[in-house]
Structure 1
Amino acid sequence: MSHSIMSIILSMICLVVALPQIVVFSGSATFFNPGLDTCGATNTAADLIVKLSTPRYGTGENCFKDVVVFANGASVTVSVVGECPGCGLNDIDLSPGAFARLADLSEGRINVQWGFADS
């Protein structure tokens, strides 16, 4: 079994065991340069934050909700700060600090599983 398949399987097992109440979405993650975001907060690259696709962001009802993101056998909890109009339905845009917890920034885009912590 390849290393990447094993990492995905282990991530999914951790997700099921540790957080069975989360509805899981699969998509890709990129990162952005934070500043003043759609939810009205000003953030830095070190903050653990995320922007959601327009349909997942909605009309702002998800602002400041916690999201747990899994990739490469690691996880990070981030707070929703805005909308990512260019993202696909289940894609997310992380701060550099959050992305770096999951992969090297040089990767630019990674496959992730994610869900709202309180769902």
Structure 2
Amino acid sequence: MRPAFAIFLLASALVAVDSQVVVHTGTLFNFVPGLGACGFTNTSSQTVASVSNHTFNTFAGATANPNNNPICKHSLNITHGGTHLAVPIVDFCASCPDENIGLSTPGFVHFAPTSAGIVTGVSWSIV
């Protein structure tokens, strides 16, 4: 069974190399989760993320029913000032600029105190 496992790992590595990850730079804001566009109810104690309405609705395979949007099975990789965090995407912000992303408080405090409200110049990608 080891050779099959090794082939699977090699195939997974090749897929990862072929996929193109687009890195964005934008503003991070703090948000309070609830029932999100993906259909999940999250609490303020969970670390979850939101993207702009544009990013959510133009993601490959997006459907009229936001609960079925494939973006809901992905995460944001966020980096700022040497800090990195990967967070599941659960919602979108209807009026946010395209490059803005949101994090619930437990994630936001990895980058700044909640009193800051926003963090500019964060890098992020959907993985």
Shorter-chain TM range is 0.7 to 0.9
Gapped regions of structure 1 (runs ≥ 5): 1-20
Gapped regions of structure 2 (runs ≥ 5): 1-19, 63-68
Q: Are 2:95 and 1:86 equivalent residues in the alignment?
A: yes
Q: Are 2:115 and 1:115 equivalent residues in the alignment?
A: no
Q: Going by fraction, where is helix more abundant, 1 or 2? A: 2
The 3-state SS of whatever aligns with 2:70 is coil
Bigger-Rg structure (1/2): 2
Report runs of 4+ in structure 1 exceeding 6 Å deviation.
Answer: none
Q: Deviations over 1:35-65 (max 9, x none)?
A: 1111110111222211110111114331131
CA contact (8 A) 1:53 1:83 kept: yes
Identity %: 30
Partner in structure 2 of residue 10 of structure 1: none
Partner in structure 2 of residue 76 of structure 1: 85
The CA distance in 2 between the partners of 1:74 and 1:99, in whole Å, is: 11
CA-based RMSD = 1.3
Give, as a single letter, the amino acid of the residue that structure 1 aligns with 2:124. W
Q: TM-score, normalised by structure 2?
A: 0.71
Using the TM superposition, give the Cα deviation of residue 94 of structure 1 relative to its aligned residue in structure 2, in angstroms.
0.9
The CA distance in 2 between the partners of 1:86 and 1:64, in whole Å, is: 22
Using the TM superposition, give the Cα deviation of residue 107 of structure 1 relative to its aligned residue in structure 2, in angstroms.
0.8
